[in-house]
Amino acid sequence: MITRTALRHLDRTFVMGILNATPDSFSDGGQWMDLNSAIARGYRLVDQGADIIDVGGESTRPGAQALSSGEEWDRIGAVVKALAQAGIAVSVDTYHAATARLAVEAGAVIINDVTGGAGDPSMFSTVAGLGCMYVLQHTRGTPETMNSLASYESVPGEVAAELEESVRRAVGSGIDRSNIIVDPGFGFAKNADHNWDLAAHFGAVEALGQPVLIGVSRKRFLEEVAPDSVPSSRDNATATLTGYFASRGVWGVRVHEVAASKAAILTAERLRESGAFTGQGAFRGRATPGNREDGGDREASGGSEGSDA
């Protein structure tokens, strides 16, 4: 099992397997609501190569029903405890500070906040007190309003700037910068063109100097290259992007189907050992948290699609 110390290493790309204990997530809602099936799913993801299991109790797709922290914890609490007690590195996907506290007390090592601290004014101070690792994601608005806010002059530049401001506020609230992982929020307040633009011109996010988590798994913008309407049909496209981002040296990828993405990461790492990717992305010298590199591509795109997160 992977340790918390190992999760701070910046010389590999981790796989975060998605475990949705929800009835309404866009891809697998309702499949893992039962405690035993959820725990079994977590074990299976680890067997397939997941380093971390990201447990979520509330869907963040557009129009999803918001939950109270109590309702959320009722869905995921026993799952988090069981997986953590088994020695599995557990992340909890929540924007509720109360859930974050309970999760860490139950053994979770990462809080994955899709709102970047905007969903609960107590989140930053809570995470600071807990001292856990914290995924700070880019988004705008709420699941109900994010589509209307998908307007940019420069997608990569604005996403990076807004992430940088969120990191500044988090650090100002007492969160150790070395605990912060940034997520550019593919699909959140971004249409299909925005997502492709952000992926293609990723230097602005890399230049922040923070570890980066990527969440593109089964997102709707992948329909362009995987036109079947079933979300699981996008797993091959997801794994292709995993290989691309692994070649750039991202900290982690968050995926539904682990095996193909794990293989893509191992392939990218083996190519790196053989001399590929020299001078590319984070492999230029693998930025450590708090040490920002200069540079980054900033291109423009327009329109509106929304998120299937």
Give CA separation, 61 vs 189, 256, 282, 309, in Å. Answer: 11, 15, 30, 5
pLDDT at site 253: 98
Q: How far apart are CA 110 and CA 106, in angstroms?
A: 12
User: Residue 300 — pLDDT band, cuts 50, 70, 90?
Assistant: very low
Least confident of 39-53, 63-77, 164-178, 245-259: 63-77
Confidence band, pLDDT 50/70/90 cuts, at residue 6: confident
| Active-site pick, 41, 190, 218, 219 | 219
The more confident residue out of 26 and 300 is 26
Specify whether 284 is catalytic.
Answer: no
| 14 membership: H or E segment, kind and range | strand 14-20
Question: What is the number of helices (H) and of strands (E) in the chain?
Answer: 9, 8
- Range scoring the smallest mean pLDDT among 3-12, 167-176, 255-264: 3-12
pLDDT one-digit tens code per residue, 116-156? 999 999 999 999 999 999 999 999 998 888 989 999 999 99
Model-wide pTM > 0.85: yes
- Whether 290 has a pLDDT exceeding 50, the answer reads no
46, two tokens: 């680890």
Give yes or no: 219 in active site.
yes
Backbone angles phi, psi at 27, to 5 degrees: -100, -45
Strands (DSSP E) found in 25-139: 52-56, 89-93, 110-113, 133-137
Interval 163-187 mean pLDDT: 98
Q: What is the pLDDT of residue 28?
A: 47
C-alpha 28/C-alpha 24 separation (Å) is: 8
